[in-house]
Amino acid sequence: MAEGSDGPLPLPYSESELQDALGSEWKALLTQGYRWMLFGRLMDNRFLGLQRQGRIGFYGPATGHEALNVGCALALAPEDWVFPGLREQLLALVRGMNLQGYVHHLFGDGMDPSLGRQMPCHPTAASVGYVSMASTVGTQIVQAAGSGYAQALRGKGGITVAFFGDGATSTSDFHAGMNMASVFNCPVLFICANNQWAISVPVSKQTAVTELAKKAKAYGMPGERIDGTDFVRVLSTLRSARKQLSAGKGPVMVEAVVYRMNPHSSSDDPTRYLPPGYLREARAHDPLARLEALGDRLGLLTPEEKERMRKEIEDEFRKAIAEAEVAPPPSPDSLFRDTLKESVWPLTEERDTFDRDQGGHFP
């Protein structure tokens, strides 16, 4: 985008091209995609604001990644598993993770499915095949390779998706996971969300390969680089990749180029390292604005329908936050729950000692 221009870069699809890319249901998919992307944008705004107010302890926004997360969620099947990197919470919600449970998790209260043990903004939802995030870089790539290997052995279908950032492609776990998946022909879709920054380190400072998808060739698998801010391209590409994986043709890597439009996390100050013009370029590639402009051109939603959609989403957040803010903290005895399948005497002894120190209130 030229330095002096304004507005999002257009998505130049005609109705016939959308039909070819997404099938006969393209209108419903664009509408569904827009609603979930708007949901993700409003969620980031709301919860980053709560963190700034001191009402939650940490938040990692995914603003700028919405097309990739929603497009991937809509391309997958219920039997698939996702091993997230850092910004895929929206994907889990699209797949059916309970919003109220996620908000309890952000507050770390007694209704938090993780009982306050996990870092905020690192949810897990086994019911929708979504494994917990981890802040360690790249570890999920190896785990996803193992999951794909297990799926292949069981022969019951389903694929595994591994998300990771550009920085993770320089880790040993990237090598180990990619190599294992390729050698054993595992149904793993490796998705690199390349937002060009590994916290404050630019891609150019951590790898000499300018197109990260080219790294796939070294492991004997196809690699493709796409515009991750183009919802149509993301959905059509990942649908095709899943079809190939389901046919037993081996792993695939997709590099989705996106822009991080907010700080790396609520603990980050990007003004200290982002170059001039980066945010302007990011706004030009705003995935929500690009999809909205396409929908406006096609007449998919009226202004009144979009406003009603926004109010409905905001109301969902208000209700979930109100419930979480009055929930009690995790009880002290929760420290000893969900640690082992069957309790053993050292744990029992520790629990009883802790209970005596607390006044003997455990059930």
- The amino acid present at 23, given as its one-letter code, is G
Say how many CA atoms lie within 13 Å of 43 toward its Cβ. Answer: 29
Residue 131 pLDDT exceeds 50: yes
36, 231 Cβ separation under 8 angstroms: no
Helices (H) and strands (E) in the chain, counts: 12, 7
Q: What is the pLDDT of residue 338?
A: 80
The DSSP call for residue 180 is H
Q: Is residue 1 pLDDT above 60, yes or no?
A: no
The tokens for 95 are: 């797949």
Domain boundaries, the chain: 15-329, 331-363
pLDDT mean across residues, the chain: 93
Q: How confident is the model at residue 53 (pLDDT cuts 50, 70, 90)?
A: very high
Paired tokens of 121: 């903004």
pLDDT category, 198, cuts 50, 70, 90?
confident
Determine whether 172 is exposed, middle or buried from the number of CB atoms within 10 Å of its CB (0-12, 13-18, 19+): exposed
Distance CA 163, CA 193 (A): 7
**229 close to 63: Cβ distance less than 8 angstroms:** no
Please report how the helices 287-298 and 231-246 are oriented relative to each other, as an axis angle in degrees rounded to 10: 100
> CA-CA distance, 247 to 241, in Å (whole number)?
10
- Cα(182)–Cα(130) distance, integer angstroms: 23
What's residue 2's pLDDT? Answer: 38
254 forms beta bridges with 191, 224
Count of C-beta atoms within a 10 Å radius of residue 258? 28
CA pair distance 149, 152, nearest whole angstrom: 5
The predicted structure's pLDDT at residue 3? 42
* DSSP line for 69-102: HHHHHHHS-TT-EEE--SS-HHHHHHTT--HHHH
Dihedral sign, Cα of residue 267, residue 271, residue 273, residue 275: positive
Which pLDDT value is given to residue 4? 42
Does residue 243 register a pLDDT over 60?
yes
Question: Selecting from 3.30.1300.30, 3.40.50.300, 3.40.50.970, 3.30.460.80, what CATH number does the domain 15-329 have?
Answer: 3.40.50.970
pTM above 0.75, yes or no: yes
CB atoms within 10 A of CB 240: 15
Lowest mean pLDDT of 78-92, 190-204, 262-276, name the range. 262-276
